[in-house]
Amino acid sequence: MTQITTGRVDRKVVLISGAASGMGAAHAWALVREGGSVMVADIQVDAGRRLVAEINAESGREGAAFVALDVTDFGGWEVAVAETVRCFGRLDALVNNAGIGSRGSAADADLDDWDRVISVNLTGTFYGMKAAIPELGKHPTSSIVNVSSIAGLVGFKQRAGYSASKWGVQGLTKTSAMDLGPQGIRVNSIHPGSVNTPLTAHLTRGFGQVPLDRAADAEEVSPLVVYLVSDESRYVSGTAIAIDGGETAGNNLRPIN
Ligand SMILES: NC(=O)c1ccc[n+]([C@@H]2O[C@H](COP(=O)([O-])OP(=O)(O)OC[C@H]3O[C@@H](n4cnc5c(N)ncnc54)[C@H](O)[C@@H]3O)[C@@H](O)[C@H]2O)c1
Protein backbone atom coordinates (compact mmCIF):
# COMPACT_ATOMS: atom_id res chain seq x y z
CA MET A 1 0.00 0.00 0.00
CA THR A 2 1.39 3.42 -0.90
CA GLN A 3 1.61 5.63 2.18
CA ILE A 4 0.48 9.23 1.82
CA THR A 5 3.10 11.60 3.25
CA THR A 6 2.83 15.21 4.27
CA GLY A 7 6.43 15.82 3.27
CA ARG A 8 7.67 17.50 6.44
CA VAL A 9 11.16 16.11 5.76
CA ASP A 10 10.94 15.84 1.98
CA ARG A 11 14.35 15.02 0.47
CA LYS A 12 16.04 14.99 3.89
CA VAL A 13 18.53 12.16 4.33
CA VAL A 14 18.84 10.93 7.90
CA LEU A 15 21.28 8.51 9.51
CA ILE A 16 19.85 6.87 12.66
CA SER A 17 21.95 4.74 14.99
CA GLY A 18 20.29 1.90 16.88
CA ALA A 19 17.38 2.00 14.46
CA ALA A 20 16.71 -1.74 14.20
CA SER A 21 14.34 -1.74 17.18
CA GLY A 22 12.44 0.37 19.69
CA MET A 23 12.39 4.14 19.28
CA GLY A 24 14.98 4.18 16.48
CA ALA A 25 12.76 1.95 14.34
CA ALA A 26 9.74 4.16 15.07
CA HIS A 27 11.76 7.24 14.00
CA ALA A 28 12.77 5.50 10.76
CA TRP A 29 9.13 4.75 9.92
CA ALA A 30 8.04 8.30 10.75
CA LEU A 31 10.79 10.00 8.74
CA VAL A 32 10.15 7.91 5.63
CA ARG A 33 6.39 8.50 5.95
CA GLU A 34 7.16 12.24 6.02
CA GLY A 35 9.10 12.05 2.77
CA GLY A 36 12.66 11.53 4.02
CA SER A 37 15.24 8.84 3.35
CA VAL A 38 16.73 6.92 6.22
CA MET A 39 19.90 4.91 6.78
CA VAL A 40 19.13 2.36 9.49
CA ALA A 41 22.39 1.65 11.36
CA ASP A 42 22.60 -1.02 14.06
CA ILE A 43 24.55 -3.99 15.41
CA GLN A 44 21.39 -6.08 14.89
CA VAL A 45 21.85 -6.95 11.23
CA ASP A 46 18.86 -9.25 10.63
CA ALA A 47 16.38 -7.02 12.46
CA GLY A 48 17.74 -3.94 10.65
CA ARG A 49 17.42 -5.52 7.21
CA ARG A 50 13.92 -6.78 8.02
CA LEU A 51 12.83 -3.30 9.08
CA VAL A 52 14.21 -1.74 5.89
CA ALA A 53 12.35 -4.30 3.75
CA GLU A 54 9.09 -3.57 5.61
CA ILE A 55 9.46 0.21 5.32
CA ASN A 56 10.28 0.06 1.61
CA ALA A 57 7.41 -2.35 0.93
CA GLU A 58 4.91 -0.11 2.71
CA SER A 59 6.17 3.19 1.31
CA GLY A 60 6.47 1.92 -2.26
CA ARG A 61 9.92 3.49 -2.66
CA GLU A 62 13.50 2.79 -1.59
CA GLY A 63 13.39 5.29 1.26
CA ALA A 64 15.35 3.13 3.69
CA ALA A 65 18.65 1.25 3.61
CA PHE A 66 20.70 -0.63 6.19
CA VAL A 67 24.31 -0.45 7.32
CA ALA A 68 25.86 -2.54 10.09
CA LEU A 69 27.30 -0.27 12.78
CA ASP A 70 28.74 -0.62 16.25
CA VAL A 71 28.68 2.96 17.53
CA THR A 72 31.80 2.35 19.64
CA ASP A 73 33.84 1.90 16.44
CA PHE A 74 34.78 5.24 14.82
CA GLY A 75 35.83 3.51 11.58
CA GLY A 76 32.36 1.96 11.44
CA TRP A 77 30.82 5.43 11.70
CA GLU A 78 32.95 6.66 8.77
CA VAL A 79 31.66 3.73 6.71
CA ALA A 80 28.06 4.43 7.77
CA VAL A 81 28.30 8.08 6.70
CA ALA A 82 29.95 7.14 3.37
CA GLU A 83 27.29 4.46 2.75
CA THR A 84 24.52 6.98 3.44
CA VAL A 85 25.95 9.42 0.90
CA ARG A 86 26.51 6.60 -1.62
CA CYS A 87 22.89 5.40 -1.28
CA PHE A 88 21.05 8.72 -1.01
CA GLY A 89 23.49 11.35 -2.31
CA ARG A 90 23.80 13.48 0.83
CA LEU A 91 23.37 13.64 4.62
CA ASP A 92 21.09 16.21 6.26
CA ALA A 93 20.60 14.84 9.74
CA LEU A 94 22.03 12.47 12.30
CA VAL A 95 19.94 10.88 15.04
CA ASN A 96 22.24 9.48 17.73
CA ASN A 97 19.76 7.03 19.18
CA ALA A 98 21.70 3.83 20.00
CA GLY A 99 21.90 3.27 23.71
CA ILE A 100 22.10 0.65 26.42
CA GLY A 101 21.16 0.58 30.08
CA SER A 102 23.30 -0.02 33.16
CA ARG A 103 22.69 -0.72 36.82
CA GLY A 104 24.18 0.21 40.13
CA SER A 105 25.16 3.18 42.27
CA ALA A 106 28.64 4.71 42.37
CA ALA A 107 29.25 2.31 45.26
CA ASP A 108 28.26 -0.92 43.58
CA ALA A 109 28.29 -0.42 39.80
CA ASP A 110 30.51 -2.87 37.98
CA LEU A 111 33.63 -1.26 36.43
CA ASP A 112 33.13 -2.95 33.06
CA ASP A 113 29.44 -1.93 32.95
CA TRP A 114 30.47 1.68 33.60
CA ASP A 115 32.98 1.60 30.73
CA ARG A 116 30.47 -0.05 28.40
CA VAL A 117 27.60 2.37 29.01
CA ILE A 118 29.85 5.42 28.68
CA SER A 119 31.35 3.95 25.53
CA VAL A 120 28.02 3.22 23.78
CA ASN A 121 25.87 6.11 25.03
CA LEU A 122 28.38 8.96 25.22
CA THR A 123 31.47 8.11 23.18
CA GLY A 124 29.22 6.56 20.51
CA THR A 125 27.32 9.86 20.26
CA PHE A 126 30.56 11.84 20.00
CA TYR A 127 31.92 9.48 17.31
CA GLY A 128 28.70 9.80 15.31
CA MET A 129 28.86 13.58 15.39
CA LYS A 130 32.54 13.67 14.51
CA ALA A 131 32.04 11.35 11.54
CA ALA A 132 28.91 13.13 10.25
CA ILE A 133 29.94 16.79 10.64
CA PRO A 134 31.95 17.01 7.38
CA GLU A 135 28.85 15.94 5.37
CA LEU A 136 26.33 17.84 7.50
CA GLY A 137 28.39 21.01 7.10
CA LYS A 138 27.78 20.95 3.34
CA HIS A 139 24.14 22.07 3.79
CA PRO A 140 22.86 25.18 5.57
CA THR A 141 20.01 23.52 7.51
CA SER A 142 21.52 20.37 8.97
CA SER A 143 20.43 18.86 12.26
CA ILE A 144 21.84 16.55 14.92
CA VAL A 145 19.38 14.98 17.36
CA ASN A 146 21.05 13.36 20.36
CA VAL A 147 18.86 10.97 22.31
CA SER A 148 19.48 11.47 26.00
CA SER A 149 16.91 10.59 28.69
CA ILE A 150 15.25 12.13 31.71
CA ALA A 151 18.26 10.47 33.40
CA GLY A 152 20.19 13.28 31.67
CA LEU A 153 17.96 15.95 33.26
CA VAL A 154 17.63 14.73 36.84
CA GLY A 155 19.31 12.13 39.01
CA PHE A 156 18.30 8.51 38.48
CA LYS A 157 18.46 6.10 41.38
CA GLN A 158 20.76 3.08 40.93
CA ARG A 159 21.74 4.15 37.41
CA ALA A 160 25.06 5.96 37.98
CA GLY A 161 26.67 5.06 34.66
CA TYR A 162 23.52 5.49 32.59
CA SER A 163 22.73 8.86 34.13
CA ALA A 164 26.32 10.09 33.75
CA SER A 165 26.32 9.03 30.09
CA LYS A 166 23.02 10.82 29.39
CA TRP A 167 24.08 14.02 31.21
CA GLY A 168 27.25 13.83 29.12
CA VAL A 169 25.12 13.74 25.99
CA GLN A 170 23.33 16.89 27.13
CA GLY A 171 26.64 18.70 27.74
CA LEU A 172 28.09 17.56 24.41
CA THR A 173 24.91 18.77 22.72
CA LYS A 174 24.92 22.27 24.19
CA THR A 175 28.64 22.77 23.56
CA SER A 176 28.33 21.47 20.00
CA ALA A 177 25.39 23.77 19.28
CA MET A 178 27.76 26.65 20.00
CA ASP A 179 30.62 25.17 17.99
CA LEU A 180 28.60 24.04 14.96
CA GLY A 181 25.98 26.77 14.64
CA PRO A 182 28.19 28.89 12.37
CA GLN A 183 28.37 25.90 9.98
CA GLY A 184 24.57 25.75 9.82
CA ILE A 185 24.35 22.62 11.96
CA ARG A 186 21.75 22.65 14.72
CA VAL A 187 22.30 20.32 17.69
CA ASN A 188 19.59 19.40 20.18
CA SER A 189 19.03 16.70 22.77
CA ILE A 190 15.77 14.94 23.52
CA HIS A 191 14.99 13.43 26.90
CA PRO A 192 12.36 10.69 26.84
CA GLY A 193 10.85 9.43 30.08
CA SER A 194 9.32 5.95 30.28
CA VAL A 195 8.87 4.50 26.81
CA ASN A 196 7.69 0.98 25.97
CA THR A 197 10.57 -0.59 24.01
CA PRO A 198 12.68 -3.78 24.22
CA LEU A 199 15.10 -1.83 26.47
CA THR A 200 12.46 -1.42 29.18
CA ALA A 201 10.39 -4.58 28.56
CA HIS A 202 11.91 -6.35 31.59
CA LEU A 203 11.34 -3.49 34.04
CA THR A 204 8.47 -3.42 36.51
CA ARG A 205 7.50 0.24 36.72
CA GLY A 206 4.78 2.24 38.36
CA PHE A 207 3.77 5.54 36.81
CA GLY A 208 2.65 7.46 39.89
CA GLN A 209 5.51 9.91 39.32
CA VAL A 210 4.26 10.62 35.77
CA PRO A 211 1.45 13.21 35.63
CA LEU A 212 0.07 11.55 32.49
CA ASP A 213 0.11 8.28 34.49
CA ARG A 214 1.51 5.96 31.81
CA ALA A 215 4.50 5.11 29.69
CA ALA A 216 4.75 6.39 26.12
CA ASP A 217 4.77 4.26 23.00
CA ALA A 218 7.85 4.73 20.81
CA GLU A 219 5.67 6.30 18.08
CA GLU A 220 4.81 9.15 20.45
CA VAL A 221 8.46 10.25 20.54
CA SER A 222 8.97 10.21 16.77
CA PRO A 223 7.04 13.43 15.96
CA LEU A 224 9.61 15.33 18.06
CA VAL A 225 12.44 13.78 16.05
CA VAL A 226 10.66 14.63 12.79
CA TYR A 227 10.27 18.22 13.99
CA LEU A 228 13.95 18.55 14.93
CA VAL A 229 15.10 17.04 11.63
CA SER A 230 12.73 19.23 9.61
CA ASP A 231 13.23 22.88 8.74
CA GLU A 232 10.25 23.70 10.97
CA SER A 233 12.82 23.80 13.79
CA ARG A 234 15.36 25.86 11.84
CA TYR A 235 15.85 28.33 14.72
CA VAL A 236 15.98 25.66 17.44
CA SER A 237 19.47 24.71 18.61
CA GLY A 238 21.25 23.84 21.83
CA THR A 239 18.08 22.96 23.65
CA ALA A 240 17.22 19.94 25.80
CA ILE A 241 13.62 18.86 25.23
CA ALA A 242 11.89 16.55 27.72
CA ILE A 243 9.24 14.22 26.31
CA ASP A 244 8.22 12.52 29.50
CA GLY A 245 4.51 12.94 30.24
CA GLY A 246 5.48 15.65 32.74
CA GLU A 247 7.71 13.35 34.83
CA THR A 248 10.45 15.95 35.40
CA ALA A 249 8.05 18.89 35.89
CA GLY A 250 8.10 18.50 39.66
CA ASN A 251 7.38 16.11 42.50
CA ASN A 252 4.18 14.36 41.48
CA LEU A 253 4.27 12.13 44.58
CA ARG A 254 4.29 14.92 47.19
CA PRO A 255 1.12 14.56 49.32
CA ILE A 256 -1.32 17.46 48.93
CA ASN A 257 -2.34 17.60 52.61
N1 LIG B 1 12.88 3.14 26.53
C2 LIG B 1 12.99 4.14 27.38
O3 LIG B 1 12.20 4.22 28.34
C4 LIG B 1 14.04 5.20 27.19
C5 LIG B 1 13.93 6.37 27.94
C6 LIG B 1 14.85 7.39 27.77
C7 LIG B 1 15.86 7.26 26.84
N8 LIG B 1 15.96 6.11 26.11
C9 LIG B 1 17.04 6.05 25.13
O10 LIG B 1 16.47 5.92 23.84
C11 LIG B 1 17.39 5.26 22.97
C12 LIG B 1 16.69 4.11 22.28
O13 LIG B 1 16.34 3.16 23.26
P14 LIG B 1 15.15 2.10 23.12
O15 LIG B 1 14.36 2.20 24.36
O16 LIG B 1 14.48 2.25 21.80
O17 LIG B 1 15.99 0.75 23.22
P18 LIG B 1 16.16 -0.51 22.25
O19 LIG B 1 16.98 -1.47 23.04
O20 LIG B 1 14.85 -0.95 21.71
O21 LIG B 1 16.99 0.09 21.04
C22 LIG B 1 18.35 0.39 21.14
C23 LIG B 1 18.98 0.01 19.81
O24 LIG B 1 20.35 0.35 19.90
C25 LIG B 1 21.09 -0.72 19.33
N26 LIG B 1 22.42 -0.74 19.88
C27 LIG B 1 22.83 -1.07 21.13
N28 LIG B 1 24.16 -1.00 21.23
C29 LIG B 1 24.61 -0.61 20.01
C30 LIG B 1 25.91 -0.36 19.48
N31 LIG B 1 27.02 -0.53 20.22
N32 LIG B 1 26.00 0.04 18.19
C33 LIG B 1 24.90 0.19 17.44
N34 LIG B 1 23.65 -0.04 17.87
C35 LIG B 1 23.52 -0.44 19.15
C36 LIG B 1 20.30 -1.98 19.68
O37 LIG B 1 20.64 -3.06 18.83
C38 LIG B 1 18.87 -1.50 19.52
O39 LIG B 1 18.41 -1.69 18.20
C40 LIG B 1 18.57 4.85 23.86
O41 LIG B 1 19.60 5.80 23.73
C42 LIG B 1 17.98 4.88 25.26
O43 LIG B 1 18.97 5.10 26.25
C44 LIG B 1 15.07 5.08 26.27
Quick check: is 160 in a domain? yes
User: What is the distance in A from the centroid of ligand 1 to the CA of 77?
Assistant: 17
Q: Whole-number mean pLDDT of the chain? A: 96
What pLDDT is recorded for position 204?
A: 79
User: What is the distance in A from the centroid of ligand 1 to the CA of 199?
Assistant: 6
- d(CA 108, CA 32) in angstroms, rounded, equals 43
Atom 41 of ligand 1: nearest residue by CA position = 99
Cβ contacts of 207 within 8 Å, gap of 6 or more: 194, 213, 214, 215, 245
What pLDDT is recorded for position 1?
A: 47
The model's pLDDT over 100-132, given as tens digits with 9 standing for 90+, comes to 999 999 999 999 999 999 999 999 999 999 999
Quick check: is 132 in a domain? yes
For the CA of 215, the nearest atom of ligand 1: 3
The model's pLDDT over 147-178, given as tens digits with 9 standing for 90+, comes to 999 999 999 999 999 999 999 999 999 999 99
Over residues 52-60, the mean pLDDT reads 97
Q: Could you give the number of structural domains in the chain?
A: 1
User: How many Å separate Cα 210 from the centre of its chain?
Assistant: 22
Percent of the chain with pLDDT over 70: 98
For residue 61, the enclosing domain spans 13-243
Clarify whether 162 is annotated catalytic: yes
Atom 36 of ligand 1: nearest residue by CA position = 18
Q: How confident is the model at residue 3 (pLDDT cuts 50, 70, 90)?
A: low
Residue 182 DSSP symbol? G
In this structure, the residues whose C-beta lies within 6 A of any atom of ligand 1 are 17-18, 20-24, 42-44, 69-72, 97-100, 120, 147, 149, 192, 194-195, 197-200
User: What is the distance in A from the centroid of ligand 1 to the CA of 136?
Assistant: 23
What pLDDT is recorded for position 255?
A: 85
| The model scores a pTM over 0.95 | yes
Q: Could you please report the per-residue DSSP string of 67-85? A: EE--TT-HHHHHHHHHHHH
What pLDDT is recorded for position 76?
A: 98
Percent of the chain with pLDDT over 90: 91
User: What is the distance in A from the centroid of ligand 1 to the CA of 195?
Assistant: 11
Atom 42 of ligand 1: nearest residue by CA position = 99
Over residues 13-25, the mean pLDDT reads 98
Q: How confident is the model at residue 69 (pLDDT cuts 50, 70, 90)?
A: very high
Quick check: is 255 in a domain? no
Quick check: is 254 in a domain? no
What pLDDT is recorded for position 137?
A: 97
> Per the residue annotation, which of 127, 162, 227, 235 is the catalytic one?
162
Torsion angle (degrees, nearest 10) of CA 97, 86, 33, 187:
40
Domain containing residue 71: CATH number: 3.40.50.720
As a whole number of Å, the CA-based R_g of the chain is 18
Asked whether the predicted pLDDT for residue 201 surpasses 50, the reply is yes
Atom 20 of ligand 1: nearest residue by CA position = 22
Asked whether the predicted pLDDT for residue 71 surpasses 90, the reply is yes
User: What is the distance in A from the centroid of ligand 1 to the CA of 241?
Assistant: 18
What pLDDT is recorded for position 256?
A: 83
Quick check: is 8 in a domain? no
**CB distance 70 to 116 below 8 Å:** no
Quick check: is 6 in a domain? no
